Chains A and B, each alone.
Chain A
Amino acid sequence: MAAAARGAPPGPGPVSDAPILAIRNLSRNFGGLRALDDVSLEVPRGAVFALIGPNGSGKTTLFNVVTGTLAPTSGTILFQGEPIAGAKTHEIVRRGIGRTFQNIRLFTRMSVFDNVWVAVRTPRGGDRARSETERAEALLELTGLTAKRNELVENLNFGERRRLEMARALATEPRLLLLDEPAAGMGALELERLTQDIRRLRELGATIFLIEHTMDLVMGVADRIAVLNFGHKIAEGAPGEIQTNQRVIEAYLGREGSRA
């Protein structure tokens, strides 16, 4: 089931019904705490898939397990049909999963250009000397940071830092891009730009897996939404279905709408 609400995704690569990421019965314990409890979900190729849920519901833990930062306690993760659970982070990244962090983690002692350059990798048989610099420059262009290329990160404003982190993640040439609360702390103008950027990436053929609290963004870009609460998946569906789902409303507002 290609669940993308807006029809088959355009862009390169074979359009296939197989999900790009399939998470099956995934659990992760921290001591006695079950941060993820038997979570299953499938991210369709070419879609924007949003993961929402209250704070502490296990969203970032899920990203950490997918990227190999944490090992799963049980369950499987298939990326493009191959198991990746428990593999090393850099190996998973080289297979085609990119990520940005909730709290921005740029290299503050490097220039804007070097931050992107670190992540650029030459494909086998590629022309290293020419393409690495050019690809880094192209990503700065795409994210509107060309004018700042020689600045140190500390001289960038918040929105520019978010965009640089995005450029850096794109430099790994991900087929699947994990964005962890990209809109956190953004003003209306930056948010509008981020919405445009995500739509553009989708049109370029990327699949995006998004954790977000800003509902304007989620409802504006997501094809499909899954909701976590206390490590359980409590709902999944199209944006319209999620907005009216009783369990989701309870998870966010508490029972009978009383704000706990």
Chain B
Amino acid sequence: MGTALFDGTEQLINGLMYGCFYALVGGGFTLLFGVLRRFNLAYGSTIMAGAYAGLIPVYLFKAPVLVLFVTTIVVSVLVGLLVEFCCFRFLRKGHELAPLMTTIGMLIVIDETIVHLTDAVGLKYPAPFGDESLALGPFLIRPDYLAILVVSIACFSAIFWLMHRTRFGRAMRAVAERPEAAQILGVSVRRVNVLTFVLTSAMAGIIGFFAAVSVGSARPEMAAWLTGKGLVVMVLGGLGSFPGAILGGLALGVLEFEAVWFLGSSYRDILAFSILFLILMVRPGGLLGSRPA
């Protein structure tokens, strides 16, 4: 009993830290959905493309990790702009479901390109935070998880500041709620959409870096894994609510880590989606969803 409580607590700490990672993924999906009211299923691939591209300067020039990190962000932003251009820009008004098709297409294009270029072999990622566990009192925690915690808190703070204190943020909130009213106040909806892609794709770069670091390699399966987790967190939090996505990410992280410890890792994904179904039964709008059905 004592060890179960101890293990449970250790998993809780790690789950919260890794939950921050899920919160970032879900937060990226959520910001895009909140502003565009459309799903971007290519977001997971945007993350993966950045993670792979970051390795290029490392393999070619033995570049330091900082260069890898910056490259990841830059390439993710470029891929995000490509997604906006190919999958969203030329769609007609009223075709809200069309992006499901165009972005799945983009997901396949990006995934297949990476598989062809790398022969589907996972590429080893550097471990910039070391692999020695850190002692937090009696508990052992992973250093890369601690880095995730710090970076995601910085990201969330930056996004809240941006949303509530800047011209772009207020335009974004206006477009998210009523695009036609935002337009009549002089806000360019297209500009806000493009900048939202830039913002969420920069997040994708950060996510890609930490995803590959925590797994130890960049792998083609990343896209499907991140898309699944991101969508669960977005729905869990209440489609479009950014604080909801943070809460949903933390909840998913903790429940997964507890389940892996007590049930075994093969139950991880079954559990993630079971949690989703259960929570939607109790709260159909998600944890912080305010929007009536």
Count chain A residues whose beta carbon lies closer than 8 angstroms to a beta carbon of B.
Answer: 25
Residues of B184-227 at the interface with A, using a CB-CB cut-off of 8 Å, are 184-189
Q: Is A105 a contact of B178 with CB atoms below 8 Å?
A: yes
* A228 CB, nearest partner CB in chain B, Å: 21
Q: Is B185 a contact of A168 with CB atoms below 8 Å?
A: yes
- Distance, CA A114 to CA B187, complexed state (A): 14
* CB closest chain-A residue, reference B170: A118
A117 within 8 A of B: yes
Q: Is A90 a contact of B187 with CB atoms below 8 Å?
A: yes
Q: Is B177 a contact of A89 with CB atoms below 8 Å?
A: no
- Distance, CA A169 to CA B181, complexed state (A): 10
Across the interface, A107 reaches (CB within 8 A) one of B178, B184, B186, namely B178
A88 within 8 A of B: yes
B173 within 8 A of A: yes
- Distance, CA A119 to CA B180, complexed state (A): 13
* B184 CB, nearest partner CB in chain A, Å: 5
Across the interface, A119 reaches (CB within 8 A) one of B173, B185, B188, namely B185
Q: Is B184 a contact of A93 with CB atoms below 8 Å?
A: yes
Q: Is A109 a contact of B186 with CB atoms below 8 Å?
A: no
Q: Is A90 a contact of B170 with CB atoms below 8 Å?
A: no
Across the interface, A109 reaches (CB within 8 A) one of B177, B181, B182, B189, namely B177
Residue from B173, B178, B184 whose CB has the most chain A CB atoms within 10 Å: B184
| Residues of A with C-beta under 8 A to B170 | 110, 114, 117-118
Across the interface, A90 reaches (CB within 8 A) one of B173, B177, B178, B186, namely B186
A171 within 8 A of B: yes
* B206 CB, nearest partner CB in chain A, Å: 27
| Residues of A with C-beta under 8 A to B184 | 67, 69, 89, 93, 98-99, 101, 169
Q: Is A110 a contact of B188 with CB atoms below 8 Å?
A: no
B174 within 8 A of A: yes
- Binary CB contact string for chain B from 164 to 177 against chain A (1 if under 8 A, 0 otherwise): 00000011011001
Residue from A89, A93, A169 whose CB has the most chain B CB atoms within 10 Å: A89
A78 within 8 A of B: no
- Distance, CA A94 to CA B187, complexed state (A): 9
- Distance, CA A161 to CA B189, complexed state (A): 24
Q: Is A107 a contact of B180 with CB atoms below 8 Å?
A: no
A172 within 8 A of B: yes
| Residues of A with C-beta under 8 A to B182 | 118
Residues of A84-120 at the interface with B, using a CB-CB cut-off of 8 Å, are 88-90, 93-94, 98-99, 101, 105-110, 114, 117-119
Are A105 and B181 CB-contacts (below 8 A) given A117-B170, A118-B170?
yes
* CB closest chain-A residue, reference B185: A119
| Residues of B with C-beta under 8 A to A213 | none
B118 within 8 A of A: no
| Residues of B with C-beta under 8 A to A172 | 185-186
Q: Is B188 a contact of A88 with CB atoms below 8 Å?
A: yes
Q: Is A90 a contact of B174 with CB atoms below 8 Å?
A: no
| Residues of B with C-beta under 8 A to A105 | 178, 180-181
Q: Is B183 a contact of A107 with CB atoms below 8 Å?
A: no
CB-CB nearest 4 A-B residue pairs: A119-B185, A89-B183, A105-B181, A93-B186
16 contacts between A and B (CB under 8 A): A69-B180, A69-B184, A90-B188, A93-B184, A93-B185, A99-B184, A101-B181, A101-B184, A107-B173, A107-B177, A107-B181, A118-B171, A118-B185, A119-B186, A121-B186, A172-B185
